[in-house]
Amino acid sequence: MKDPLKVFSGTANPDLTTAICKELDIPVGQAQVARYSNDNLFVQVGENVRERDCFVVQPLQTSENIVELLLMLDALRYASARRITAVVPYYSYARSDKKDMPRISIAARLIADLLVTAGANRILTMTLHSPQVQGFFSVPCDHLAPTPLFCQYFQRMDLTNFVVLAPDAGSAKRAGAYASRLNLPLGFVDKRRVSDLQVEVRSVVGEVAGKHVIIFDDEIAAAGSLLETVKSLQSFGVADIYAGATHGVLSGPAVERIAQMPIRKVVVTDSVAIPPDKRMPKIEVLSVAPLFAQAIKRIHTGESVSAMFE
């Protein structure tokens, strides 16, 4: 691999950056992130990056993560990096992709504009809640999918009498990709979101009675949607229930809800950091480091990223 490649880490998920760099066989770039007494953040790149191809890995779990990434991009820009790629395994605010209520912000577009303004020449992300957010960027944006990871995991099981289920109609296309690759039938849930923590399930479309079900979604935040989906499936007489989601945000009451659900396994990735207190035997974490490492290598060498999934 060419010498100019540099991969830096924000503080949101340094373990993922370390794993990516291990796959690439390079050290993590030197950078310092500190906080002043007035809560302002201080960022300094600790090595020469002039004319280097630089990547910054930072999932956007919190507003502070966003500010930190903006500062790191800006620092690299002023340090004369040749190209700067923002590697955003989890892109928050992707749900805010349209003006569906009066007087609200289209935050997904705002964050995209901020990243580009701060110095990002390219974006590398994974499983956007709304695929159209990819078009909000005025710079190239590569959109990865963890489909191979989840399929490899579930293919180790006997998939006889299984069905893939999308948690809502909007997720049917994403879940359909899993169903096609696993050669399983597809169903979906008709639901309505009542609030951030609560959803209402109206019906289940597809043959699920007596079958083992795998629910595929883009993320599990408060787990309200997963909880109501599991409850509704019980009334249809399904057998075992599994769930797969790219982003294990696990906010609010998520862990408690999962612990109480009659669900065999919840499979997520390490696109966001999952602390030890949120891990349990029911939750399986797959690493996306190999996928991001391969994508970074391809971007650096000018190869096709989409060819990874062909």
Asked if pLDDT for residue 196 goes beyond 60, the answer is no
pLDDT band at 1 (very low <50, low <70, confident <90, very high): very low
What Cα–Cα distance (Å) separates residue 121 from each residue in 31, 243, 262, 300? 20, 35, 45, 13
Q: Are 56 and 87 in contact (CB under 8 A)?
A: yes
Q: Annotated catalytic, 297?
A: no
* Distance from C-alpha of 156 to C-alpha of 115, rounded to nearest angstrom: 39
- Please pick, among 2, 191, 211, 265, the residue that the annotation labels catalytic: 191
pLDDT band at 305 (very low <50, low <70, confident <90, very high): very high
Mean pLDDT of 24-49: 96
* Distance from C-alpha of 58 to C-alpha of 255, rounded to nearest angstrom: 23
Buried b (16+ CB within 10 A) or exposed e, 212-243: bbbbbbbbbbbbbbbbbbbebbeebebeebbb
Mean pLDDT of 70-99: 96
Alpha helices in 204-309 (DSSP H): 224-235, 254-260, 289-301
SS (H, E, C) 106-145: CHHHHHHHHHHHHCCCEEEEECCCCHHHHHHCCCCEEEEC
Minimal CA–CA distance to 158: which of 55, 87, 239?
239
Mean pLDDT of 247-269: 96
Tokens of 18: 């370390």
CATH domain 147-286 topology: Rossmann fold (3.40.50)
How many CB atoms are closer than 10 A to CB 94?
26
Q: Determine the pLDDT at residue 105.
A: 95
Q: Determine the pLDDT at residue 190.
A: 77
Give residue limits of the domains in the chain.
Answer: 5-144+289-309, 147-286
Q: Determine the pLDDT at residue 206.
A: 82
Mean pLDDT of 279-290: 97
Asked if pLDDT for residue 191 goes beyond 70, the answer is no
Fold match between 5-144+289-309 and 147-286? Answer: yes
**CATH second-level architecture of 5-144+289-309?**
3-Layer(aba) Sandwich (3.40)
Question: 68 phi and psi, to 5 degrees?
Answer: -60, -45
